[in-house]
Structure 1
Amino acid sequence: MSTPARLPDAASLETVLAGLAPASADADLIPALAAAFPGFVFGLAPIDDDYWRDTRSVLQPDGTRLGELRPWMTAEIAKVGGDIKAVWLRLKETDLQITEWRGSSGFVSAPTGPGAADYIQIALGREIEWRAGPIVNPDYRPWGESELLDPSWPRADQLPDSDRLAGPLYRLLGRAGGAVIHVRSFLDRCGRIERDKREAKRPEMERRVIREVGPDGTRETPFLEAVPGWFDYVPREIRFFQDWEDSSASAQRVFAHWALDIRDYTHKGERDIGFIPRPLKPPKERLLMTPKVSVHLLMDRIEAMDREIELPFGWFFLITHGHWVDPDVGRTIAQGLKAQRVRLPDRDASVLLRWADRTYGF
């Protein structure tokens, strides 16, 4: 598959999303993207990741909007010289309400080639505006301004559909620079930035020594002699995709099973770039290492997990995620492979042993 001529960009995507009518946005999203970017086969993977926007409005019972909550409430507080109790006592007797935008995340992906990393990913939010409740909690006196400007008490309630005001609307999620990425290009950037960081430290590392105190005195070993591969470090993000391509999982696409929570920003002059992988089909139960469990029982359990998530060698990538499968499960199976007590397909065994020799995780 050759890469289509026009890769989606943030500005063009925002135009497409803005053109979706709320009444049919869910059904129209993928067709609208396909029409705007010919040559791509898009798919949407929703994520169970609810969030709230900090944009709220003040609403009268007839639906008239008085303005955004923060500036409106700030003015109300100023009218009484900052007397929070007075504002609360007055507002709790009114019929004013607040609105709230509630969203859930989703990832749109489309392949650009045959390789594991040959695809684009678009991070989206699906958002609905709701009538959230009275403008203040009538049963609880606020003790500070922030409780009026940023109320959190309505969020525990499941709202009825009759309180829906607008949406669903789709928008790009910022995600620290990762709303729209071409994954292979992103991995190339990860590798280049890591190499540049380490190369910049070459003079320092060439001077560094490791001091060991023993019965014969102090011994000094140059750091680069003790750690000869320090400049050849491969970021975990790249290893994740290398392991996918080298294993039985490569029969399926990464984006069919994982979403990438991207970060790419600069803080105090230091570039931070990478991702946290998020499983789209997590297993029902975690696989934890327990005392005296046999390696043969672990093999039965990982095979059952692969069947459940419908991905060969899928259990391994859940290990790298760090939550669903205990890394000690992988270490134990790797030891069983070395002792020839268990078997895996050759390519999967090579990946697992490589990981066990130099583990990584997210």
Structure 2
Amino acid sequence: MNVTPLRLPDAASIEAVLAALDPASADADLIPALAAAFPGFEFGLAHVDDAYWRDTRTVIRPDGTRVGELRRWMSAELAKDSGEIRALWTRLKETDLEITEWRGTSAFVFAPTGPGVADYVQIALGREVEGRAGPIVNPDYRPWGEEELLDPGWPRRDPLPETDRLAGPVYRLLDRAGGAFIHVRSLLDRCGRVERDKREAKRPELERRVLREVEPHGTRDTPFLELVPDYFDVVPRELRFVRDWEDSSAKPQRVYAHWALDARDYIYKDEREVGFIPRPLRPPQERLLMTPETSVHLLMDRIEAVDREVGLPFGWFFLMTHGHWVEPDVGLAIAEGLKTQRVRLPDPDARVLLRWADRTYGF
């Protein structure tokens, strides 16, 4: 499918769209609002169940009246009691004041920009709701330090009842390490270029480096690049992930139909870091683990079951590169079974798996 967008999304424009959403209908209005703001894109939405808490808390009265931001308000109250934590706790636990907290889960918006499996844009959002967290202090436990008052860790962590909701849901652009809005194909190009530049910058040093090996009749100095001749040809795991998708039975389906990407693009200690960690949108119910008594034929049955569950041919392989849902040893065992002709995979998948087994990668 060829898509010719009239206007490429940008962070400021996306934030303007999000700010204009009415919380009462934000879930239903999000995709239509983005489509209206950026004609030519066919947006889709996927939610990820990964609860997080923002550090923004507010002090309120039982009727919902807002008293102030927790840290600033609590610091002022502590000053009234000359910094005496016990005195402040004794006073506050007799009040009916409460604190609120913002809870969120991740949401990812996708839209294709071309026919390739990585030709799409991704927007990383947080879907957040503000609710009552509990009384202003824990009445059953006296805090021992100021930070326990300013950043309490005791409020409940069970699901937030609808009756305790105060605001939201609202959608917020999550600029996690520069990956809030990405064009995936462009990110991959940058990832490969940055890795090549890093390695090339080390060429003069590596051309001088030698490794001394002890032999029965003395020592021998071997140039590093003679031992690692493909050092400058290493392909980043992110590019291998997409290349393996394109070369396997998964190719007819889009990456974004099954995976969200926790992307990053930032500078750390004067070095640029570019890449992503893939996150499955529909992980299997159970992990596939390798045990000594597991035969390769049983593994074949199990990987077929995983593929059916996630709705993706060769899906087990990409779960394996992540490492949590399918152990890498599963892939190595099946690769060995292919080499000894004990099992078979479709030819494209067999080539991808054997290539991976020859030089493994993971996230």
If the length of structure 2 is used for normalisation, what is the TM-score? 0.98
The AA in structure 2 aligned to 1:217 is: G
Q: Deviations over 1:36-61 (max 9, x none)?
A: 11111111110011111111111122
Name the structure 2 match of 1:349: 350
Q: State the alpha-carbon separation in 2 of the partners of residues 164 and 292 from structure 1.
A: 51
Q: How much identity, in percent, do the aligned residues show?
A: 78
Shift of 1:4: 1.3
Shift of 1:299: 0.8
The AA in structure 1 aligned to 2:294 is: V
Is the Cα contact below 8 Å between 2:6 and 2:38 reproduced in 1?
Answer: no
Q: Deviations over 1:153-210 (max 9, x none)?
A: 1132433211111110001011110000000000111011111111111111111112
Shift of 1:316: 0.5
Shift of 1:68: 0.5
- Secondary structure in 1 aligned to 2:344? coil
Q: State the alpha-carbon separation in 2 of the partners of residues 159 and 341 from structure 1.
A: 52
Q: State the alpha-carbon separation in 2 of the partners of residues 3 and 112 from structure 1.
A: 7
Shift of 1:275: 1.0
- How many pairs are equivalent? 362
- Secondary structure in 2 aligned to 1:30? helix
Is the Cα contact below 8 Å between 2:71 and 2:150 reproduced in 1?
Answer: yes
- Secondary structure in 2 aligned to 1:98? strand
RMSD value, Cα? 1.0
The AA in structure 2 aligned to 1:169 is: V
- Secondary structure in 2 aligned to 1:197? helix
- Secondary structure in 2 aligned to 1:156? coil
1:1-362 to structure 2, matched below 5 A, reads: 1-362=2-363
Q: Any unmatched runs of 5+ in structure 1? A: none
- Secondary structure in 2 aligned to 1:128? strand
289-298 or 174-183, which deviates more: 289-298
Cα distance change of structure 1 residues 3 and 212 upon mapping to structure 2, 3 Å threshold: farther
Is the Cα contact below 8 Å between 2:3 and 2:41 reproduced in 1?
Answer: no
Where has structure 1 moved over 3 Å in runs of 4 or more? none
The AA in structure 1 aligned to 2:18 is: L
Q: Deviations over 1:192-238 (max 9, x none)?
A: 11111111111111111122112121111111111111011110001
Q: State the alpha-carbon separation in 1 of the partners of residues 140 and 159 from structure 2.
A: 19
Q: Any unmatched runs of 5+ in structure 2? A: none
The AA in structure 2 aligned to 1:252 is: Q
Shift of 1:292: 3.2
Shift of 1:265: 1.7
If the length of structure 1 is used for normalisation, what is the TM-score? 0.98
The AA in structure 2 aligned to 1:55 is: T
Shift of 1:6: 1.5
Q: State the alpha-carbon separation in 1 of the partners of residues 158 and 285 from structure 2.
A: 26
Q: Deviations over 1:225-260 (max 9, x none)?
A: 111110111100010000000000011110010010
Shift of 1:62: 2.6
The AA in structure 2 aligned to 1:83 is: E
Shift of 1:15: 0.5
Q: State the alpha-carbon separation in 2 of the partners of residues 283 and 46 from structure 1.
A: 16
- Secondary structure in 2 aligned to 1:54? coil
Q: State the alpha-carbon separation in 1 of the partners of residues 190 and 48 from structure 2.
A: 26
